[in-house]
Amino acid sequence: MEFDARQKIVTLPEAARAAWRARAAGGRVVFTNGCFDLLHAGHVRYLGQARALGDLLILGLNSDSSVRGLEKGHDRPLVPQEERAEVVAGLMAVDLVVIFEEPTPLKLIETIAPDVLVKGGDWPPQTIVGHQFVSARGGRVLSIPLVPGLSTTNLAQRIRHKSGG
C-alpha cells in the first residue's frame, strides 16, 4: 500500500481530537511550529528530538501569508505551504501537521494543549509563544539546540550565491 503523507495534514479540530485520544491512552503530546521552508538536516534532527519527548508530535506550519508577516525576506517562503506541509508530513518523526494563518501558533497551542512545547535553540523557553499556557498546565517548555551552520537562511543565501542571484 502506498504511503501518502498528505493524510497527516489535518485541521485544528482533528489535531485536537488526536491529542485528546493520545492523552486518554496515557500518551504525551508534543507540539512545535515553524516555517520549514527548504527542509534541511537540522530540521530533521530537531523534529526527531522533539518526537522523542512524547508519543504524538503535532507540527504547526506557518501558512505562506504567516511567513510573509515574519519578515523572513520578500521572497519567502520559497516553497508553497501545501508542499512544505507534505514534506514535513513525510518525515517519520511528525505525526500530524496543521497549517495556521495567524501570526503566532497560540490558538493551536491553546486548542491542542500539548504536554511538551518545543522550539529550536534560538528561542529561550520563556520567549516561546504559548510557554505560559503550557507551563500553567504543568507541561514542559524546551529549546532544542540548533545544529551549527544549518539554517534555511544560510541555505537560501548559498543557493542565491551559486546561481548569481
Q: What is the pLDDT of residues 6-59, one digit of tens each?
A: 999 999 999 999 999 999 999 999 999 999 988 888 889 999 999 999 999 999
Greatest distance between any 2 Cα atoms in the chain: 54
How many residues are there in the chain? Answer: 165
Integer-rounded Cα Rg, in Å, for the chain is 16
Q: State the Cα–Cα distance between residues 77 and 98, nearest whole angstrom.
A: 17
pLDDT tens per residue, range 47-92:
999 999 999 999 999 999 998 877 666 677 889 999 999 999 999 9
**Tens digits of residue pLDDT in 116-157:** 999 988 888 999 999 999 999 999 999 998 766 656 556 666
User: Which domains are delineated in the chain?
Assistant: 5-163 (3.40.50.620)
C-alpha cell at 52: 522523542
pLDDT of residue 28: 98
Q: What is the DSSP string of 62-100?
A: E-HHHHHTTTS-TT--SS-HHHHHHHHHTSTT--EEEEE
